Chains A and B, each alone.
Chain A
Amino acid sequence: MKVTLFTTCIVDFMAMNVGKATVELLESLGHEIDYPTNQTCCGQPMYNTGYVEKTKSTIKHFIETFEHAEVIVSPSGSCVSFVKEYPHVLADDKDWKERAEKVAAKTYELSQFLIDVININDFSAKLPGKAVYHSNCHTARFLKVKEQPLQLLSKVEGLELVDFHNSDKCCGFGGTFSVKMGDISAEVADEKARYIQEANPDYLIGADFACLMNIGGRLSRIGSNIKVMHIAEVLNSK
């Protein structure tokens, strides 16, 4: 299948390895990658801060950049959940709303694509050690993608997945919330980091780089040596 890749802006300029792992993983499964170089951001930062009108030009740009695709895959459930919101944001404009609906319908988070669309069962990932999985709120609650990442991780050779206290709770990132209410956000991240440490894992795995950057930022500050990995990197580990 020809897979059009939406890397997300944050992966583009802050986590090149996540994008790279996504490409290599999909190619190893026999898919052809299409990477539209005009892609930027999904628009969520402006929208979630309340600037709905100022988000629209970004959304329209996204639609124009991606509507040619057969299927759009992204290593971020949060950004995908926002693409699914596009028809609602553009509800006032019939033509754009229809275009938004078409794009939203063919956009998938990576683990969702792997399980629900191409249904892969067998891949030869290998990563020895103990890991916890942080469930991203938008992936789990808005996209309802809860089991797929766990299903994939259970097949990684050598990887032992353990739970930790309140693993389904928000990490405190929340986009601009993380700087606008930085004090509160950092306290949420701190509690998350402490519970993860209690489980004593080698790896913290997540399906959304933003949360990983937040929790990882706190782990790094308190001197933890837990390695932070995106699920694409884990599935691409040989």
Chain B
Amino acid sequence: MGIKINDKSFKKNLEKNLNDDFMRAAMVKAQDLINKNRANVLSQLGDGNYQEWQKLSGEARAHAIENLDFYLNQFAENVVKNGGTVFFAKDAKEASQYVTNLAIEKGVKKVVKAKSMVTEEIGLNHDLIDAGVDVKETDLAEYILQLDDWNPPSHMVVPSLHLNKTQIRDVFAKNGYSGKDIPEDLAAFARAQLRNEFLTADMGIYGCNFAIAESGAITLISNEGNIDLCTSAPELQVAVMGMERILATYEDADICISLLARNAVGAKSTSYTTFVNGITEEGAADGAKEFHVVIVDNGRSKVLKSQFKEVLQCMRCAACLNICPIYRQVGGHSYNSIYSGPLGVVLTPLLAGYEDFEELPYMCSLCGACTEVCPSNIKLHSLIHEHKRVLAEDKKNSAFWGVSMTGAGKVFSRPWMYKLGTGIAPLMTKPLMEDGKIKKGISILKGWTDKRDMPALEKTRFRDWYASRSKGGNK
């Protein structure tokens, strides 16, 4: 699929999602629930001083990114020591082709996949299917989305957040399910189907939450047990990771994992924390006999050299999505990127270019909630603002706003113009008035007045009142 989800315009996507009442109610419910649980489990850290932990995890991530070349080398050397093979892919195509060619070369018929954002990013499923490989997503949500004609994920941690149990029942019904829309029954159906896939797969593909430089281990944290089956059942295994997934030590991982689980799902830990350390020892009943790690650049080294470097610290916990007041209203698909919410706003244009995504940086009220919750200490709202600056100043993307803001800058730096402008404004807005309020705006003001009233501009400005008062008048 790649980063972009569909070819519709930003406006079309937004309109569709704002009219999707079910999806919007699900977003509100999910945000409120995750945030309640999140606050609860965070308050248990460090006697309630979880900011201390947040600082430590941010430092661990920043340290790894600052010294990325060193730790990537160390990590790769250790993977080889553990009997694995490392491939550095410069872009999506190289990464996807490496895995696809490996599958073809080894005669792979079936792949079981664990949920991974980076494999979505490089469009791996598509290439494998084109090569005639049977691909099975094994994360329950991803499994649902695959059965639903590859419906794109709308959340980094909860990919099928936009579907309800009845919709999921309908998807399963097309695939042999005849029960009701009871979550436990639906899960049992999926489990039965998937168990067979694990046992008959020739290749396991998974992502990577953290790559530990000091040992060469791939860390995976999950809840369903499907990842552990991907890392144990097939003899041929491939881990695909963005090149920024590095942590220096297990000690750093300890802190980051604690915050990742708490932020992502509002739990103290996930059900499974798995470390994959290369190939298994001889005679072992399960585990990889052949192990490959694909380290994906795909634009990340360019980000590393840019003013947006900090975003590489992200650990994909989705705390920013879960707190964002805009994501809450519009849902993941409105971003038209597999990376949605505040992180998506920052990351998507960096990896996929501004051209298709130049509306994204404006999907932000700069409230700063994302920055406040980020366990990787990324100043997300400042980076979103920097995107706006690039669009406005370097790319000069909007003649309308360019002219408006030039005008505003002139008026606000010349008091006589300001006084004149604010003096005549009430007269100019008079035609828009109804019952003492502005109710029907024109041009950009319509965006406000379609659903909100605006107070009338004051005939007596504060400055007029103050002036008359100092003269001994109107007290």
Measuring CB to CB, which residues of chain A are less than 8 angstroms from any residue of chain B?
A: 7, 9, 11-16, 18-20, 23, 35, 37-41, 43, 45-46, 48-55, 57-58, 60-61, 137-138, 141-142, 166, 169-170, 172-191, 213-214, 216-218, 220-221
Contacts and interface: CB of A to CB of B under 8 A. Distances in A.
B453 interface: yes
Given A11-B462, A46-B408, A179 B415 contact: no
B366 A57 contact: no
Chain A contact residues: over half helix, strand or loop, or mixed?
helix
A82 B90 CA distance: 41
Contact of B451 (A9, A57, A190): A190
B411 A186 contact: no
A53 B452 CA distance: 32
A18 to B, nearest CB: 8
Contact of B393 (A15, A41, A52): A52
B392 A180 contact: no
B329 interface: yes
Given A48-B385, A175-B365, A186-B452, 9 more contacts: A7-B462, A14-B457, A38-B415, A45-B408, A178-B448, A183-B450, A184-B326, A186-B447, A217-B452
A45 to B, nearest CB: 6
A38 B452 CA distance: 32
Interface residues of B, number: 67
A12 B18 contact: no
Given A49-B401, A50-B388, A180-B362, A40 B418 contact: yes
B173 interface: no
B368 interface: yes
Given A15-B455, A220-B437, A221-B451, A177 B365 contact: yes
B405 interface: yes
A213 B326 contact: no
Q: Determine chain B's interface SS by DSSP, over half rule.
A: helix
B14 interface: yes
Contacts of A170: 325, 365, 367, 369
B182 to A, nearest CB: 30
Given A53-B393, A213-B454, A172 B365 contact: yes
Contacts of A15: 455, 458, 462
B329 A50 contact: no
Nearest to B423: A13
A191 B393 CA distance: 34
B148 interface: no
Contacts of B371: 141
Contacts of A166: 32
B192 interface: no
A50 B393 contact: yes
B462 A19 contact: yes
Contacts of B393: 50-53
A197 to B, nearest CB: 15
Contacts of A53: 393
Contact of A213 (B401, B455, B464): B455
A217 B438 CA distance: 10
